[in-house]
Structure 1
């Protein structure tokens, strides 16, 4: 049974138990049930809202701005959802982690992108968002002299999923159309303002107080790798190899290649030293690699190339350079004879090598085996070789595709990331489709995350995403997609400054006395902003019973009232129902379409 099915079973059991308690009279009158949805009603707080509503002119001006923002976003949400639904119908995407139904729920532990470790921050952000949202509705009710019957919270089983203000129906119907529109828009306006405040604090003083700790951050060690055997694991920082300080992944790679002995001395966290006895292992593989090897739970050992024993990557590189076009590689899974090169998973359309080859290399994988006569044995080799060229240089690129070698005259392009020359391909790291290491750690891009949040990465290398965070709107976009970074940006998902990664950062500046409290504050701000932005956008969908649907009805009534029609109420109902059903169908297609249509 998958996670979503367990959740549905739990909700069913809860619904039956809650209904039994209600039938037997154990629930107070303030609690009302509709299936798994429970609402708790109270009349407290109405006097406070009446006092806060006294500067009515200010609140009306505030809400008029909110109405304009909400209308723009409503149109955008309608177009986005409709376009997405049409795209799914025309070309159903293959099911993936990002379009699984459970990943549309903002529930930590159920949503694959929201780990349980950030559940407190997400729940806090949700509760604050619900309070300011419904508080906005209640405040504008009193501004517009609309009476309030009750207020309260909405629960899905035990999870708070909403709050509400219940206006008096007669009082609401007596209010003019503008007053009701401002009241409906007040909730999303408050969510967007709270998002802006949280992001401003996060991108400003909070992230500004965070710096990157020295060394290369370790996200973990591959099972069965030399680093794992030496006790190097998640949360460690590698600060030196054989006495040579390392601050970036390239520093680490260069230091390991330069080390001649099989056993290397590794300084961890600047405090302890461990001895790592290196051996060559393949810890990853791409489908269809020339060796026809698949790395699953355990790594595959590599012991010799063309009869020459190899124990380090430096020895492997030398042996492959001397091997010719093909190498006989001895592994713990058997001996393979393979072509040698950097494995290309895709050539970029209209990229340098795609333009040079015509249709020869389109929609196919291949190896790059040489640049201008220089042997290329791995993706690292290719990157280092291209560092010696400039944008616009013409080079001969030797590739292995469809069982044969072929050379192409390629005019190099310029990568936007760092301005270096590139051939326009996506690479699988390693050699010939195998990720080979003599060390075995997965690095954590601590500096990149800090940079994407508007801080100073200080990683010692050029930015991975230059220009992406040059404006406040770009920073908001990046923060919105960071929990999905593996899908959108090609780096691991970022759940916040969780305890597992705080050792990769240091607190500095005026906020230094707060210590780790800065990380807690940063997580609260990040998830509060993230959740409130989601709440505001979702409620702007023009479909009943969302705020966008109610604003749509007010707008439809205003337009239809000026038309020469005999039954204006029916026309308004037709417009709002049609748009609402279209939005509902679009949402269902987004959630379930990839599973049902692919």
Structure 2
């Protein structure tokens, strides 16, 4: 069956092997039931099957499309604009997939990398590691909006170009909507001009991009403008067996006071804890209850196989024999020493141990970049302790120093590979994002690959995320978010920011308990926090899903819209060449591009597993 243009939505994958087993079993039973009903002739005429997918067909709605299609000149102009946009995006997607596949072959990432797992390419909450189940309403709403406007655009342009519609409908995998379709009449479709066919195929992605712009404009404008950061330090995570965990502090709590002194935001928590006296302190949570917390420096996150050997939940009791209980006390005790001896109380309750480790910014050296030109290719973690003469205790300090440099500047870099100290003189390249000097490193946040907290909490950057969405505050990415398109570009990566190391947590909308970090203000406050957060989530995921649908359907391969646009465009070009054009010539071009895209897409998904470590 030819669906004309099909708005594809990827089928679900599974997070967790046990859940995978149950879902695969359920799908097998479901598919068996579909086959049995089909063989018994029990499926109604309006239900078709494509493997395990059921397609529901209807002819209703064609009269509405006829009425909407009356201003044909307007819709043709709108779709001509969409054709131009689609062609640009098609070329961009072709180049992107080729580069992604070549990257998988030449520099494969570890097969265990969460971002590169195939399941995390899919927009299924609870299945994709980065999309919590609490985001489901917004994702489903955005998906339905995307499917309706996409296929509605195809149907509308069918009538504008006098192409008859046999049926319209939706495709379901069990209870999941995985696609929608408009089925044009084959004879009238062939009779339409190439330009008419191209406009029809481009109409869906044009509408998706228009909805993206509208949704994000409303989100970045009046909705986020009515949201502010609630007072207190936002607790995003609590280290196991830490003083905070033992006191009953939980993720999504706000620390609003320490020893009776108010805490207005994340940046004040360390000062309040440092000012506290004694081995214990009182901590007020959410402005309501007070708990007693022991003072101890705990590891809240640690890189795998890091240079310190520390694990989440470990406590650092002393530096070179000097007892410490706070983050500031830790750095004061380290001072200018590149390597120090830590006294550690393991999270598993074992005996205290002493370990001599480097203290600085733990980075991976990127091949082919300025630092690698001096160190040579290496997979070993490099702990930078000094940059251009300045002491570096963590990656944040190194990042600040790099922002003050300029491309072409020479800088000295001192650090440790294992126990060996080395110093390099590096000529910095240009950082295209900031315009400052570029060293060529991959960051591991925190100190020597670990983050520590005075009481064992990891703070959620509520203000930074709000600024990235157009709210008040300083954006952590500088001028890139000063433009509307830049904000959209950043918003597309928010759900995986924590995984790729740009922020300590992912952002999947105002869901999953993080609403407690925000409050609604201004005129929209009359509608209540729940209503405003719901609108924000619906707009965020509607914009996010629609731009994904638009880009995905612009891949120049069948049965996507890009494949059909490629065919009609190739026919138009070949027909103007001073040769005896044949249908076979067009087929060679479209097949070659389509197969190239399919292979590139598979390599992008599975290349790390095939060629990675």
Quick one: which of 524, 533, 548 aligns to 1:511? 524
1:471 is aligned, of 480, 483, 490, to 483
Does 2:133 match 1:123?
no
- The 1:240/1:597 distance shift into structure 2, 3 A limit, reads same
Q: Residues 418 and 568 of structure 1: is their aligned pair in 2 closer, same or farther, counting only changes over 3 Å?
A: closer
Residues 100-140 of structure 1, C-alpha deviations (whole Å, 9 max, x = no match)? 11122222111112221111211111111111111111111
* Cα distance in 2, alignment partners of residues 240 and 22 from structure 1: 65
Instruction: Name the residue aligned to 1:47.
Output: 63
Q: In 2, are the aligned partners of 1:305 and 1:330 still within 8 Å (CA)?
A: no
Quote the offset at 1:562 in angstroms. Answer: 2.2
The Cα shift of 1:406 comes to 6.1
Any idea what SS the aligned residue of 1:295 has?
Answer: coil
* Residue 288 to residue 549, structure 1, CA distance change in 2 (3 Å): closer
Kindly state the Cα deviation for residue 260 of structure 1 after the two structures are TM-superposed.
2.8
The counterpart of 1:56, out of the listed 35, 59, 72, is 72
Cα 1:149–1:452 shift into 2, 3 Å: same
| Aligned counterpart for 2:50 among listed residues 14, 34, 37 | 34
The 1:20/1:563 distance shift into structure 2, 3 A limit, reads same
Unaligned runs of 5+ in 2: 1-16
Give the equivalent residue in structure 2 for 1:494: 507
Question: Within 1, Cα distance between the matches of 2:400 and 2:98?
Answer: 44
3-state SS in 2 of match to 1:468: helix
**CA–CA separation in structure 2 for the residues paired with 1:147 and 1:375:** 72
Q: Which residues in structure 2 correspond to 1:514-553 (within 5 Å)?
A: 514-515=527-528, 516-553=530-567
Whether the 8 Å CA contact 2:480–2:486 is kept in 1: the answer is yes
| Alignment correspondent of 2:171 | 154
Paired residue secondary structure (1:194): helix
Instruction: Report which stretch shifted further, 338-347 or 39-48.
Output: 338-347
Distance change (3 Å), C-alpha of 1:155 and 1:219: same
- Conservation of the 8 A alpha-carbon contact between 1:192 and 1:536: yes
**Aligned mates of 1:228, 1:472 — CA distance in 2:** 41
1:581 counterpart SS class: helix
CA distance in 2, matches of 1:546, 1:519: 34
CA distance in 2, matches of 1:473, 1:385: 25
Distance 1:240 1:360, change over 3 A: farther
Cα 1:131/1:215, change in 2 over 3 Å: same
- Describe the SS at the equivalent of 2:171: strand
The correspondence for 2:230, drawn from 198, 213, 230, is: 213
Judge conservation of contact 1:386–1:421 (CA < 8 Å) in 2. Answer: no
Paired position in structure 1 for 2:9: none
1:329 and 2:346 correspond: no
Which has the higher Rg, Structure 1 or Structure 2? 1
CA distance in 2, matches of 1:71, 1:80: 14
Matches within 5 A, 1:367-386: 367=383, 378-379=393-394, 383=397
Mapped to 2, the partners of 1:345 and 1:153 lie a distance apart of: 49
Shift of 1:249: 3.2
Determine the C-alpha separation between the residues in 2 that align with 1:397 and 1:165: 60
Q: Do structure 1's residue 177 and structure 2's residue 190 form an aligned pair?
A: no
Quick one: distance in 2 between partners of 1:397 and 1:133? 53
Q: 1:496 to 1:285 in 2, by over 3 A?
A: closer
Structure 1 residues 300-353: Cα deviation after superposition (integer angstroms, max 9, x where no partner):
34445555655555665565569996436253444324145325334689999x
Counterpart in the other structure of 1:244:
261
SS in structure 2 at match of 1:559: helix
Contact 1:342 1:428 in 2 (8 A): no
Cα distance change, pair 398–36 in 1 and its aligned pair in 2 (3 A): closer
Work out whether 1:71 is the aligned partner of 2:83.
Answer: no
Separation (CA, whole Å) in 2 of partners of 1:55 and 1:386: 56
1: CA distance, partners of 2:303 / 2:380: 13
Contact 1:287–1:294 under 8 Å retained in 2: no
| Kept after mapping to 2: 8 A contact 1:230/1:275 | yes
Q: State the TM-score, normalizing by the size of structure 1.
A: 0.87
Partner-residue secondary structure (3-state), 1:235: coil
Q: CA deviation at 1:405?
A: 5.0
**Structure 2 length-normalised TM:** 0.85
**Whole-angstrom CA distance in 2 between matches of 1:416 and 1:89:** 25
Match for residue 592 of structure 2?
A: 578
Three-state SS of the structure 2 residue aligned to 1:181 is: helix
Aligned position for 1:480 = 492
Distance, in Å, in 2 between the alignment partners of 1:37 and 1:490 is 38
Given that 2:316 and 2:342 are in contact with CA atoms closer than 8 Å, whether structure 1 keeps it comes out as no
Residues 492-546 of structure 1 show CA distances to partners (whole Å, capped at 9, x for unaligned) of: 1111011501111111122111112011011001101111111111111111111
The question of whether the paired residues in 2 share the 8 Å contact of 1:344 and 1:425 is answered with: no
User: Across the two proteins, how many residue pairs are aligned to each other?
Assistant: 586
1:365 deviation in Å? Answer: 3.7
Note the residue ranges of structure 1 that are not aligned, 5 or more in a row.
Answer: none
Within-5 A mapping of 1:358-437: 358-359=374-375, 364-367=380-383, 378-379=393-394, 383=397, 399-404=415-420, 435-437=451-453
What is the distance in 2 between the residues matched to 1:74 and 1:384?
39
Tell me which residue corresponds to 1:554: 568
Give the Cα separation in 1 of the matches to 2:536 and 2:263: 28
Q: What is the CA-CA distance between 1:483 and the residue it aligns to?
A: 1.1
Q: Give the counterpart of 1:272 among 289, 314, 320.
A: 289
CA distance in 1 between partners of 2:578 and 2:435 (Å):
62
Q: C-alpha separation between the residues in 2 aligned to 1:343 and 1:155?
A: 49
State the partner residue of 1:451: 467
Distance between the aligned counterparts of 1:23 and 1:52, measured in 2? 40
Q: Residue 422 and residue 249 in structure 1: after superposition, are their counterparts in 2 closer, same or farther (change >3 A)?
A: farther
Cα displacement (A) at 1:360: 8.7
Structure 1 distance, partners of 2:145, 2:79, is 20
Q: What is the alpha-carbon distance in structure 2 between the residues aligned to residue 384 and residue 38 of structure 1?
A: 55
Partner in structure 1 of residue 102 of structure 2: 86
Q: What is the alpha-carbon distance in structure 2 between the residues aligned to residue 323 and residue 278 of structure 1?
A: 25
| C-alpha contact 1:342 1:427 (8 A) present in aligned 2 | no
* Cα distance, 1:301–1:504 mapped onto 2, change above 3 Å: closer
Between 1:436-445 and 1:326-335, the stretch displaced more is 326-335
